[in-house]
Amino acid sequence: MFAKEGADVALVARTQAKLAAVAKNIEALGRKALVIQADLSKEADTATVVPKTVEHFGKLDVLVNNAGISPAGSLTEGTVLQAYDEVMKTNVRAVIQLTSFAAPYLAKTKGNVVNISSVVALRPCKNPELLPYFVSKAALDHFARCAAVELASSGVRVNTVKPGPVDNDFNSNNSLGDPKVIRQTLIDATLQGFIATNEEIGGVILFLASDKARSITGCNYVMDNGWTMVSHE
């Protein structure tokens, strides 16, 4: 979607095949794609992302922090700390690290950051095994607000998109059960009776990253098909 609007894009993920497929689509639109294979749970990998991007493109306009994992762990089973440490490395620490590295370059371009959080940050966790994930997204939300305050004097905006259920492979790869059952459960939990698409979420990210949103910073955009308005007892 960014490439369609004329952007060159650095792509960061663990899976080479997926990176290559997206890069091919971007190049088919006449834009440049830089593939960076990295595991953002590893500090050394994360540290390479911004330098490689700036070296290749000469600047940085937008940072989209989208990587996220959801390991299971609960208080009563004694697995919460292991899951917490794992999820925080990717969902929060990597975001802070990338934003810190990106900030000087974004200040030069008057660019911005868009963080991908989740509506689970707004409600207590009903499934005990998802507690670490819920906590990580709440932490991410507050980091974004604090970062917006600190970076405002540099002309850098920081905003957050909070999806509810989305029809993508984050849910289909979930280790908590049958993907079809999980998908239907997510649909049933919404007010509208359907869940968002990647393109719908991407459209809001693109808006927040654009000059059309120049007056928006420190904000959380909820896109959840009414999930937060339905009782989940």
Token pair 């359907």: residue: 194
Token pair 């940085």: residue: 60
The residue type found at 55 is: E
Angle, to 10 degrees, between the axis of helix 43-57 and the axis of helix 94-109? 20
**How many alpha carbons lie under 13 Å from residue 179 in its C-beta half-sphere?**
9
The residues annotated as belonging to the active site are 133
DSSP string, 15-72: -HHHHHHHHHHHHHTT--EEEEE--TTSHHHHHHHHHHHHHHHS---EEEE-------
- 161 alpha carbon, distance to own chain's centre: 8
Give dist(CA 61, CA 105) in Å, integer.
8
